[in-house]
Amino acid sequence: MNEVNDVIQLSLPAKPEFVSIARLASSGAASRMGFSFDAIEDIKVAVSEACTNAVNHGYKEDEVGQIRMVMDCDVQSITITVMHDGESFNANEALKKLHPIDTTVDLEEVNEGGLGLFLINTLMDRVSISTESGVAVRMTKLLTRDGVEQIADKVSTTD
């Protein structure tokens, strides 16, 4: 018997005040699927970071844009793709800079650039970034952690 995936799609204005809607939608879907409280919190943070990046970096200040979010829910995982058609970036260069905050550096000197991608990569089980046309961040969280150890290089890119 084939399991049918549930697919949820949202289109939101690329404005900060709409990021919370994406968080609520992902939280609701993950809760319905049976994810733990901690896993749901991880998903919400990752979705917030991906949407915030789209808002802050995807469109010029006077440009009106949209964020599209697709949640593909199956029996083993939720895969959330956050996309926009705005400005792209060099994903490979950004990924080279992924690292936690250096605790030896004065807080006033910390550059927050790239921290969002670091968080997404840390909190989700699989991440891929496509920058071919706009940006699409695809994040997967496994319902059970059995397959996690099989994922050696979590983040992949397509430029």
Pairing of strands 155-158, 126-130: parallel
Please give the distance of CA 1 from its chain centroid, rounded to a whole number: 31
Distances (CA, A) of 146 to 36, 100, 105, 156: 15, 26, 37, 21
DSSP secondary structure letter of residue 120: H
Domains in the chain, please, with CATH? Answer: 6-142 (3.30.565.10)
Residue 83: its pLDDT value, please?
A: 94
Residue 118: its pLDDT value, please?
A: 82
Entry pTM: 0.78
Residue 2: its pLDDT value, please?
A: 55
CA 155, CA 109: separation in Å to the nearest integer? 27
- Per-residue pLDDT tens over the stretch 21-60: 999 999 999 999 999 999 999 999 999 999 999 998 888 8
